[in-house]
Amino acid sequence: MIVDQMKLTCYETHIHTPMCGHARGSLGDYAEVARRRNLKGIYVTDHCPMPESYEHQGRIARDRLSEYVEMVVQAGRDWAGRVDVVLGIESDWLPGMEPWLERLHRQADFQYVLGSIHCHLPDYRRLYLTDNALAFQMQYFTHLAQAAETGLFDALAHPDLVKDIHPDQWQVSRLLTHLKTCLDRIASTGVAMELNTGAEKKALAEWRPGVEILKLMNERGIPVVIGSDAHEPEQVAKHLPSALNMLKEIGFATTSYYRGRRRLDVPIADAIASLKQQAVASESMPLRSGPHPEQDRSG
């Protein structure tokens, strides 16, 4: 059964590669899962290199950025016509990093730049961690709004990641006024926010962000992208159907992805329908006869 790639609408927008040192599987393995799950493509968004004075473990080494870019471009060629393999990057932001990131983002033809504040990492903790959980959480959301206002990013990754630092002291209602102010600031930049369905080291039984924040985003018209944050191939778009249904229930009309750093919106109903083509395709596959099913599928 051939599923026409042109008719598909869903992308996996957030995956990692072994070049960050804590993900496994080749890009071919990721693309294969994307093909199997009927995605139109995948955005490769590995962790950016950092300036000299910051921790550089767990990310693309400073002298290997061109190798990363070439790997993604090559996978794009290999999978052309089957799965779009698109060059992106997940860029960490800390106050003052703007010149570094401006230069970095000019070094390749990135189609999508995902901004992250990794508040669990040593640099952020060293600079901002306090015993006062609420103050720490509020500081994080101030930073998130500042990150959006730099204009460096298309979307903000896992936007309530801070809840995992003091999970027992996480309650949206405690910082609601401040949160709304920060979300208003983000909304006025036009920067999207991610619904991150990754499970890695998750302290709370909800995605990032949870439903309350998703509702606040929707009320403000903040565009939403869905990403799995896959660090291994099997995680690609694993929760995409339930994420789309959740967004639909909350009232979102569209989900977004980026091409050439420009936002493209897909109606959620279309995205759900596109994934259902997958079911038709894979169920009918065993019914097909013929000696070369592999050739048939890729043709």
- The DSSP symbol for 38 reads T
| Residue number with CB closer to Zn ion (69 or 230) | 230
- Which amino acid is residue 243, in one-letter code? A
| Residue number with CB closer to Zn ion (92 or 229) | 229
Q: DSSP labels for 43-83? A: EE-PBPP--TTS--TTS--GGGHHHHHHHHHHHHHHTTTT-
| Residue number with CB closer to Zn ion (133 or 193) | 193
CB-closest chain residue to Zn ion: 229
Q: Tokens representing 229?
A: 């944050």
Q: How far is the CB of 227 from Zn ion (least distance, A)?
A: 7
Q: Which residues in 86-105 contact Zn ion (CB under 5 A)? A: 90
Q: Which residues in 35-54 contact Zn ion (CB under 5 A)? A: none
Q: How far is the CB of 246 from Zn ion (least distance, A)?
A: 20
Distance separating alpha carbons of residues 81 and 299, to the nearest angstrom: 9
The answer to whether 13 and 257 are in contact (CB under 8 A) is yes
Distance separating alpha carbons of residues 182 and 213, to the nearest angstrom: 11
Q: How far is the CB of 157 from Zn ion (least distance, A)?
A: 6
Q: How far is the CB of 203 from Zn ion (least distance, A)?
A: 16
| Residue number with CB closer to Zn ion (152 or 175) | 152
DSSP H helices, the chain, are: 27-36, 65-78, 98-106, 122-128, 133-149, 176-189, 211-219, 240-250, 268-284, 293-298
What residues contact residue 218 under an 8 Å CB cut-off, 6+ apart? 224, 250, 251, 252
The answer to whether residue 194 forms part of the interface with Zn ion (CB under 5 A) is no
Tokens 């091409």, located at residue: 259
Count the residues of the shown chain that bind Zn ion, applying the rule CB under 5 A: 3
Stretch that binds Zn ion, among 60-68, 84-92, 261-269, 270-278 (CB under 5 A): 84-92
Q: How far is the CB of 103 from Zn ion (least distance, A)?
A: 21
Q: How far is the CB of 178 from Zn ion (least distance, A)?
A: 25
Which residue in the set 136, 229, 240, 271 belongs to the binding site for Zn ion (CB under 5 A)?
Answer: 229
Residues near Zn ion (CB under 5 A): 16, 90, 229
